[in-house]
Amino acid sequence: MVFKVSRATIITWKKLYRETGSLDRRPLNRKHKKLDPQKLMAYVQEHPDAYLEEIGTAFGCTGEAVRQALAKQKFTLKKRRSPTKSETKKNEKNS
């Protein structure tokens, strides 16, 4: 075993080459279980102030499902446009 490739892999590659004439990977045809990413992104752009629960209600799912679908698209909903300043109180003994 020079290349450490199993026989099953070679058989799969041969079958793929016979069927397609190429060893390029086949495109994945996945169905979206709950939310279509394109419809979700269009909805979010139309309703930028909507909360996750509101979006979930519009799509018939939970806010958590919406959050996960948006995370897969590398998109986050942030309500604050600017960061808040946090101030720590100094201990008077150590000052």
C-beta atoms surrounding 56 within 10 Å = 20
Q: Which residue has the tokens 């998109």?
A: 75
Mean pLDDT of 66-89: 72
Going by pLDDT thresholds of 50, 70 and 90, the confidence category of residue 42 is: very high
Residue 49 backbone class (left: φ over 0; alpha: ψ -120 to 50; beta: rest)? alpha
- Give the tens place of pLDDT for each residue, 23-37: 888 787 777 677 888
pLDDT of residue 74: 87
pLDDT of residue 86: 60
What's the one-letter identity of residue 6? S
Phi, psi of 79 (to 5 degrees): -85, -25
pLDDT of residue 76: 75
Phi, psi of 87 (to 5 degrees): -115, 135
- Rounded to the nearest angstrom, the gap between the alpha carbon of residue 76 and the centroid of all alpha carbons in its chain is 10
